[in-house]
Amino acid sequence: MDWVRSVQANTSAIERRCASLPGRRSVKKAHQAAWLLKAISMIDLTTLSGDDTAGRVRRLVAKAAQPVRPDLLDQLGMTGLTTGAVCVYHEMIEPARATMDQLGVTLPIAAVSTGFPAGLSPFHLRVEEIRESVKAGATEIDIVISRRHVLTGNWQALYDEMRTFRDACGDAHVKAILATGELGSLRNVARASLVCMMAGADFIKTSTGKESVNATLPVSLVMIRAIRDYFDRTGYRVGYKPAGGFSKAKDAITYLALIKEELGNDWLSPHLFRFGASSLLGDIERQLEHHLTGHYSAGYRHPIG
């Protein structure tokens, strides 16, 4: 607890660091194409809408298995490229799994859980929801924390909650969604990140994508440095997932540059870094076609599922 309470965040320094990053870290031509292909392998291709259907999920999985048009991949010399995972509600786990079996591909299935996105359903139901999703075939569980524990500084309650969620996940990986846009300050973000890692989170994630403010570079820097501090003290690597708030290929490169500079190449892997932004894939595919042809194509020619 002393470690948690000692964590601070210098907002002005954080903002200066983030403001300078996009202009200083620009990659071009073949290097840019390579970074964008790497980014695709780290996308959690997601559909989390009230009007989701089995058909939509089947199309999503097909796109995850073949994220870029085959003719473009052939010209780039790439084979076997897939997204990092597909992310769906519990009811859509079965269609996702069935489609993967039909296509002969194996991708992680991430299910949002614990009363997503608000996390205000009864606690025992949130825990049972995790167990049901794991039983249905989810290999990753994206849980949402109780924001009130952070806003009131009740770090022990947050730890106990996260620990219970971790235990309910069993062998499935657990991503702790902090909903940073609702935590009030960067210091709260830093402390919540640390507590969730202490309680066993395999990933810490910025947002549900449903808040008014989702992933930002300052929030990302705070969470990434919490991951770095935790690794320095414990030797345990925790993953990071920014979600929502960006949709352009250049944003993906900026985030990858931030990861490379702050955490190193070990984190440039789907095992330790994911993007939660499905619309990002469409723009990346357009940029890859531009790299090969010199022309931008219409967005509708690159469906994202």
Model confidence over 80-104: pLDDT tens digits? 999 999 999 999 999 999 999 999 9
Mean pLDDT for the chain overall: 94
User: Which pLDDT score, from 0 to 100, does residue 22 have?
Assistant: 79
Q: Is the pLDDT of residue 25 over 70?
A: no
Closest CA to 263 of 229, 233, 234: 229
Domain boundaries, the chain: 2-301
Residue-wise pLDDT tens digits, 265-293: 999 999 999 999 888 999 999 999 999 99
End-to-end CA distance of the chain: 45
| Contact yes or no for 87/48 (Cβ under 8 A) | yes
Catalytic residue positions, numbered: 142, 205, 241
Question: Which percentage of the chain shows pLDDT scores above 70?
Answer: 98
> Both tokens of residue 251?
């944003």
| Contact yes or no for 137/108 (Cβ under 8 A) | no
Measure the CA–CA gap between 240 and 267, rounded to whole angstroms. Answer: 9
Question: Which percentage of the chain shows pLDDT scores above 90?
Answer: 89
Measure the CA–CA gap between 55 and 77, rounded to whole angstroms. Answer: 31
Pick the CATH number of 2-301 from 3.30.300.30, 2.60.120.260, 3.20.20.70, 3.20.20.140: 3.20.20.70
Residue-wise pLDDT tens digits, 35-84: 999 999 999 999 999 999 999 999 999 999 999 999 999 999 999 999 99
Residue-wise pLDDT tens digits, 217-248: 999 999 999 999 999 999 999 999 999 888 89
Rg (CA), the chain: 19
Q: Is the pLDDT of residue 256 over 60?
A: yes
C-alpha distances in angstroms, 6 versus 9, 26, 213? 10, 35, 26
